């Protein structure tokens, strides 16, 4: 007999009981009045969480479906998009455009760092043919967040270009006022900071983006945004059968977040991230990300010399029931990543920190006992 594991992954994340319960409601007709009411409320609430007046759509797919939707709707084959590549997910964003024949101008940034306003400006200066800039706001593979995102938005919009943002791992967990920052197309998914199971992607579309979409004509059946708009406007429905139970779950989660207060919900991620960074520093550990780019939602920690991330994670999972992630590719065994997303209370934070400490001890890395917890506590006072 054991309790559920604590899922401290950078997605999927722990789901609160009220969201699970909402999922278990009996099935309804996805073309009936009850659905129309739920779906309308969901869209309104999602727009509040996105902080946007733009159109918003729900896709039955994981986050990659949202990325594929952007890649297949906006630009014509041969047109150019600038994509800063600074980790696995920004590489995937670039690949998605390539699949649809869009020419990607890649701006390589050293892993652990993030693209800056200056880098984007000079890349755009060099190539006046670029029509859009697509940025991963939070690079989940390296635990970095583009702190220049608002300035980059300004550079992009001042040039009359389209600004596409993959906010899959961060929307709801850090500041992202979509309209204020000039984001034309913003993509997220349910299984991260929205504390909902995986399976839905959300995508917002500005007026400027619609102009591009109507001109380019979607080259996709399933992710055709013009079809999504028609079904939403005429029927408050989706063109294809949606994951109805996930719609119930997301509807509940959005209500929960708004009742709690969006700013407070985001603030909880910020405070808890400070607890993690300060705890691990006190334990003598270091981080993969440069300081100015550190993410609030993915804490990427370098494993100490002689310790493999796989061994650490195995002890944490087996002995303490705490599940964290390793690195991607070359970082596989040299970092471990904690998802600080969605439901965050002192319980999640302290259990994770103490299980890192106890597991490291077993692997002969001895931090001063209790140093992590002591350093974390001041940040957890009003979490």
Ligand X SMILES: Cc1ncc(COP(=O)(O)O)c(C=O)c1O
Residue numbers at the binding site for ligand X (CB under 6 A) = 11, 62-64, 89, 136, 138, 140, 166, 168-169, 189
CB of 177 to ligand X, least distance (A): 19
The first and second tokens of residue 310, run together, are 């796989």
Cβ proximity to ligand X: between 19 and 375 the closer is 19
CB of 284 to ligand X, least distance (A): 28
The first and second tokens of residue 203, run together, are 């995508």
Cβ proximity to ligand X: between 163 and 365 the closer is 163
From the list 357, 189, 348, the residue with the least C-alpha distance to 269 is: 348
The first and second tokens of residue 357, run together, are 């400490």
Cβ proximity to ligand X: between 93 and 155 the closer is 93
Exposure string over 8-34, b if 16+ CB within 10 A, otherwise e: bbbbbbbbeeebeebbeeeeeebeeee
CB of 94 to ligand X, least distance (A): 12
C-alpha span between 199 and 195 (Å, rounded): 12
CB of 219 to ligand X, least distance (A): 20
C-alpha span between 212 and 80 (Å, rounded): 13
CB of 365 to ligand X, least distance (A): 28
From the list 134, 60, 61, the residue with the least C-alpha distance to 96 is: 134
CB of 199 to ligand X, least distance (A): 9
Cβ proximity to ligand X: between 64 and 371 the closer is 64
Cβ proximity to ligand X: between 136 and 315 the closer is 136
CB of 198 to ligand X, least distance (A): 6
**Across the beta sheet with 200-205, what order do the strands follow?**
55-60, 200-205, 185-189, 162-166, 130-136, 80-85, 103-108
The first and second tokens of residue 1, run together, are 């007999």
CB of 184 to ligand X, least distance (A): 18
Cβ proximity to ligand X: between 222 and 320 the closer is 222
Q: In DSSP terms, which residues pair with 105 in a beta bridge? A: 82
From the list 269, 276, 247, the residue with the least C-alpha distance to 193 is: 269
C-alpha span between 68 and 220 (Å, rounded): 9
Q: Strand 322-323 relative to strand 6-7: parallel, antiparallel, unpaired?
A: parallel
CB of 63 to ligand X, least distance (A): 3
Cβ proximity to ligand X: between 283 and 301 the closer is 301
The first and second tokens of residue 219, run together, are 């080259």
Cβ proximity to ligand X: between 170 and 322 the closer is 170
In the chain, the DSSP E strands lie at 6-7, 55-60, 80-85, 103-108, 130-136, 138-139, 144-145, 162-166, 185-189, 200-205, 286-287, 298-302, 322-323, 325-326, 335-339
Cβ proximity to ligand X: between 91 and 348 the closer is 91
C-alpha span between 176 and 371 (Å, rounded): 33
């Amino acid at each position: 007999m054991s309790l559920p594991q604590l899922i401290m992954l950078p997605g999927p994340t722990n789901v609160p009981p009220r969201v699970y319960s909402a999922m278990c409601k009996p099935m309804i007709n996805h073309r009936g009045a009850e659905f129309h009411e739920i779906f309308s409320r969901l869209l309104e609430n999602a727009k509040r969480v996105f902080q946007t007046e733009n159109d918003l759509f729900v896709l039955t797919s994981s986050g990659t479906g949202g990325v594929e939707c952007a890649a297949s709707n906006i630009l014509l084959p041969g047109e150019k998009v600038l994509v800063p590549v600074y980790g696995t997910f920004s590489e995937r964003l670039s690949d998605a455009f390539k699949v649809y024949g869009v020419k990607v101008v890649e701006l390589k940034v050293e892993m652990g760092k993030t693209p800056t306003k200056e880098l984007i400006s000079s890349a755009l200066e060099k190539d006046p043919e670029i029509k859009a800039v697509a940025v991963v706001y939070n690079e989940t593979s390296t635990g970095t967040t583009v702190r220049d995102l608002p300035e980059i938005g300004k550079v992009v919009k001042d040039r009359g270009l389209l600004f596409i943002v993959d906010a899959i791992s961060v929307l709801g967990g850090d500041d992202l006022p979509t309209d204020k920052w000039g984001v034309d197309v913003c993509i997220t998914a349910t299984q991260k900071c929205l504390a909902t199971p995986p399976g839905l992607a959300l995508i917002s579309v500005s007026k400027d983006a619609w102009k591009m979409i109507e001109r380019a004509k979607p080259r996709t059946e399933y992710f055709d945004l013009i079809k999504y708009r028609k079904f939403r406007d005429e029927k408050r429905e989706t063109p294809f059968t949606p994951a109805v139970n996930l719609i119930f779950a997301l509807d509940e989660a959005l209500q929960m977040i708004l009742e709690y207060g969006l700013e407070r919900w985001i603030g909880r991620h910020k405070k808890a991230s400070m607890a993690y960074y300060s705890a691990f520093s006190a334990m003598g550990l270091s981080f993969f990300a440069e300081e100015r780019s550190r993410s609030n939602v993915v804490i990427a920690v370098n494993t100490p010399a002689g310790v493999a991330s796989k061994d650490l994670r195995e002890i944490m999972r087996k002995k303490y029931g705490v599940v964290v992630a390793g690195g991607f590719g070359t970082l596989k065994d040299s970092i471990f990543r904690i998802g600080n997303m969605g439901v965050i209370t002192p319980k999640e934070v302290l259990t994770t920190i103490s299980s890192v400490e106890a597991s490291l001890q077993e692997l002969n890395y001895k931090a001063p006992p209790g140093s992590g917890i002591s350093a974390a506590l001041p940040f957890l006072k009003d979490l």
